[in-house]
Amino acid sequence: MNNIKSLSLKLTIGFIFGISIVSFAGCQHPSPKSQSHEPSTEISATVPKSSQADEITSSVAVVPKISYQSTETGDVTREFKSDVRGLRGLRGLRGTCKQVKDDFALRLLVPKHAGRTLEAQPTLYWWVSQPLSDAEFTFILDKVPNTDDLEFSDPLIETTLNMSVSAGIQALPFSKVLSPEQANFDLEKDVEYQWTLLITCHPDFPSLDINATGTIRRIGPSTKLKNALETATDEELPYLYAKQGIWYDAMNTLSVQIQKQPKLHTVRADLLEQVGLQKVADYERQNF
């Protein structure tokens, strides 16, 4: 009899314990698997993916591509001579040339054919691969000689420039190469000029000079271009000049804007690359 009561009591306790377990299990939170979808649903509802993309797009300014349209054909008028590896140990070598490294390069920022300008006294641009201290340059400007004319004459402008420069692109306003007596000198329209920047390395051997040469032609704007320039914003000017093949003015307006908008260094690199100045374009991209 006692055994029957004991068995009955155990069954009752077991039944109650089983119900308790079921009830407790029903009160548990959902499993991690069921939770995994809730955070993404909540974030999506708060900040939709499309809204995030719109915010990113609006916060990044899009820089338009620039396109230089060369209108010149014929012979290449740009030249560089800056191989200085043979200068080492040469007696009588002049000051500036003692500073230059074996991979030194001097480049005029000009297209392969005559670059154009609308300005009577434009700003010219050049590039040097390393900094120079108290360097002496010679600037020379002359009309491109007629191949049928065998007479030699003095250059229109020949100026010595003493300056210290950092590596990279340099601006040379035309006014800086003019003497007081030449202050009113203007480029004539529709005349092709040749300009040269050189470093004299040895007074007795001109062939050792480091130099770069390019050409420039001043033109008058067409009525259509004049109207476009009058309505263009400052930001649009470099693109307008480049599209019309007016190299020097495109370079100058773009370089002036870079001082306030450094992101335009990439645009200038693209412009330089389009005329074959790859080394300068690479330097521009790597350093800015």
Q: For residues 226 and 36, which has the higher predicted lDDT (pLDDT)?
A: 226
- Give percent above pLDDT 70 in the chain: 72
Identity of the amino acid at 69: Q
Give the Cα separation of 131 and 237 in Å (integer): 31
Identity of the amino acid at 138: T
Do 192 and 215 touch, CB atoms closer than 8 A?
yes
- What is the 3-class SS of 178-224, one letter each residue? CCHHHCCCCCCECCEEEEEEEECCCCCCHHHCEEEEEEEEECCCCHH
Cα three-residue angle 101-105-110, rounded to 5 degrees: 170
| Per-residue confidence (pLDDT) for residue 3, from 0 to 100 | 44
* pLDDT over 70 (residue 125): yes
Strand partners for 124: 172
Tokens (6 digits) for 52: 């995030």
Token match 């009113």: residue? 184
Tokens (6 digits) for 278: 């790859």
Q: pLDDT tens digit string along 168-227?
A: 999 999 999 999 999 999 999 999 999 999 998 877 778 888 999 999 999 999 999 999
All residues at 6 or more sequence positions from 163 whose CB lies less than 8 Å from its CB, including other chains: 134, 135, 137
| Per-residue confidence (pLDDT) for residue 38, from 0 to 100 | 35
Torsion of CA 95, 101, 103, 104, to 10 degrees: -40
Q: CA distances (Å), 153 to each of 107, 185, 193, in order?
A: 26, 18, 14
Each domain of the chain, given as residue ranges in start order, spans: 2-59, 79-287
Q: How confident is the model at residue 148 (pLDDT cuts 50, 70, 90)?
A: low
List the helix and strand counts (H, then E) for the chain.
Answer: 10, 9
Do 111 and 70 touch, CB atoms closer than 8 A?
yes
| Per-residue confidence (pLDDT) for residue 9, from 0 to 100 | 42
Do 170 and 126 touch, CB atoms closer than 8 A?
yes
Do 126 and 172 touch, CB atoms closer than 8 A?
yes
* pLDDT over 70 (residue 14): no
Q: Taking the CA atoms of the chain, what radius of gyration do you get in angstroms?
A: 36
Diameter over CA atoms, the chain? 144
79-287: CATH class: mainly beta
Q: Long-range contacts made by residues 237-240, C-beta under 8 angstroms, separation at least 24?
A: 238/66, 238/267, 238/271, 239/64, 239/66, 239/67
Q: pLDDT tens digit string along 219-265?
A: 999 999 999 999 999 999 999 999 999 999 999 999 999 999 999 99
- In degrees rounded to 5, what are phi and psi of residue 256? -65, -40
Closest Cα partner for 75 from 117, 115, 114? Answer: 114
Give the Cα separation of 204 and 114 in Å (integer): 31
| Per-residue confidence (pLDDT) for residue 11, from 0 to 100 | 40
Q: How confident is the model at residue 61 (pLDDT cuts 50, 70, 90)?
A: low
Q: How confident is the model at residue 151 (pLDDT cuts 50, 70, 90)?
A: low
